[in-house]
Amino acid sequence: MSHTPVPAEFPEVLAAYALAGRLVSAEPYGSGHINETYAIVMAADAGPRRYIFQKVNHLIFKNVPALMDNVRRVTEHIAAKVRAAEGEAAARRALTVVPARDGRTFAQDAGSGFWRVYDFIEGAHTVDRVETEAQARVAARAFGDFQAQLADLPGGRLHETIPNFHHTRSRFETFRRAVAEDCVGRASEVKAEIDFAFAREADADVLLNRLARGEVSERVTHNDTKINNVMLDDVTGRAVAVIDLDTIMPGLPLYDFGEMVRTSASSTFEDDPNPGNMQLRLPLFRALVEGYLGSAVGGVLNATERAHLGFSGKLMTYENGIRFLTDYLQGDTYYKIKHPRHNLERCRTQFALIRSLEAQQGAMARIVDEVFGGR
């Protein structure tokens, strides 16, 4: 954390926007790991009003105009739907982009940073970890409803802002190359992890093969379905809006569900240094299945997709595990690390979750059948 609460370029960014009133405060906000997020308050005649200012991480997102084009299309589509269904009062049920003075959906500072502004969603909050089954159910329903809202998004395929994001085969090939190159000489130290990953290579192709055969279909997916990307109503705890649309792209619904299993049905955080703490929590898995199958997308999932709900958790965990291992083998160039073995610890804890998912595969399948049968 720097000593200044807001970065030096903030005044020039603010000047690029025509917000009513005078600036009262600006401070860092939330606990996102990707972008820099600030909450600002403007005092206008109608009273104080809050906005979210975000500096987009353009090391990860290389094409911000394309990304913002996706965000604009998606938010406008959802806003039109919630207004049609629930009236003007439902405005906070969609993320709203505030355009810059020049009409664009983002502004650039002199240091070539990209910024965007959203209306602040009031009366709602995010949680960083799922604590209760009710939260897991609410989040899964929100992401399922979100996928369904976008089923009829006009204007063709969205930009693939990070190509091959969940292409597990290409992730695996990158991992294989990192092992072969062994550029920082760590491969011998992590032989057990490399063997573990190679033993599960076939998993990488399971959903891609189904997709190639037309047995599962591509939709618009969120791709970062962590609980802290759903705003929850302060009073009712129900979902208000899905946020953090940077990774929205064409994808498989199962990727979104699998990422929920990985992050919201697991017993500890992804970089817990003790892999022994990591396991699948079946009651939370059940809650995710209930929320997801109970959402608007539940009814359109086909039998193949339903049959792979449990597997999708394993696949997303595998993908993340081999990406952490790849980064460790390449000398920690992608993920931020806090200590030299951070990526290795992340990998080991992901692999512990895979073991737990494999051990509970049958129990997960029974839960899916029970929940589906009860609908």
Ligand X SMILES: Nc1ncnc2c1ncn2[C@@H]1O[C@H](COP(=O)(O)OP(=O)(O)O)[C@@H](O)[C@H]1O
Q: Residues in the site for ligand X, rule: CB under 6 A?
A: 29-30, 32-35, 37, 52, 95, 118, 120-121, 126, 228-229, 243-244, 246
Among Mg ion, ligand X, none, what does residue 30 contact (CB within 5–8 Å per kind)? Answer: ligand X
Nearest to residue 284, comparing CAs of 140, 143, 144?
A: 140
Cα–Cα distance, 94 to 147 (Å, whole number): 13
Residue nearest to ligand X (CB): 32
DSSP H/E element including 364 = helix 361-373
Q: How far is the CB of 35 from ligand X (least distance, A)?
A: 4
CA angle 84, 85, 87 (to 5 degrees): 70
Cα–Cα distance, 174 to 370 (Å, whole number): 39
Q: How far is the CB of 224 from ligand X (least distance, A)?
A: 7
319 half-sphere exposure, CB direction, 13 A CA radius: 24
Identify whether the C-beta of residue 328 lies closer than 8 Å to the C-beta of residue 342: no
Among Mg ion, ligand X, none, what does residue 37 contact (CB within 5–8 Å per kind)? Answer: ligand X
Residue 228 or 295 having the CB closest to Mg ion? 228
Residue with tokens 């897991």: 136
Q: How far is the CB of 345 from ligand X (least distance, A)?
A: 22
Q: How far is the CB of 32 from Mg ion (least distance, A)?
A: 4
Q: How far is the CB of 108 from ligand X (least distance, A)?
A: 19
Among ligand X, Mg ion, none, what does residue 313 contact (CB within 5–8 Å per kind)? Answer: none
Residue 95 or 297 having the CB closest to ligand X? 95
What is the three-class DSSP state of 184?
coil
Q: How far is the CB of 248 from ligand X (least distance, A)?
A: 12
Residue 39 or 300 having the CB closest to ligand X? 39
Q: How far is the CB of 173 from ligand X (least distance, A)?
A: 27
Q: Which two tokens stand for residue 353?
A: 């979750």
Cα–Cα distance, 21 to 74 (Å, whole number): 29
Among ligand X, Mg ion, none, what does residue 126 contact (CB within 5–8 Å per kind)? Answer: ligand X
Q: Which two tokens stand for residue 361?
A: 């595969």
Residue 32 or 310 having the CB closest to ligand X? 32
Residue 67 or 293 having the CB closest to Mg ion? 67
Residue nearest to Mg ion (CB): 244
Contact residues: Mg ion, CB under 5 A: 32, 229, 244
Among ligand X, Mg ion, none, what does residue 335 contact (CB within 5–8 Å per kind)? Answer: none
- Strands (E) across the chain are located at 22-28, 36-44, 47-56, 97-98, 107-108, 114-119, 124-125, 219-221, 230-233, 239-242, 249-251
Residue with tokens 């609410």: 138
Residue 35 or 350 having the CB closest to Mg ion? 35
Radius of gyration of the chain (CA): 21
Residue 75 or 360 having the CB closest to ligand X? 75
Among Mg ion, ligand X, none, what does residue 121 contact (CB within 5–8 Å per kind)? Answer: ligand X
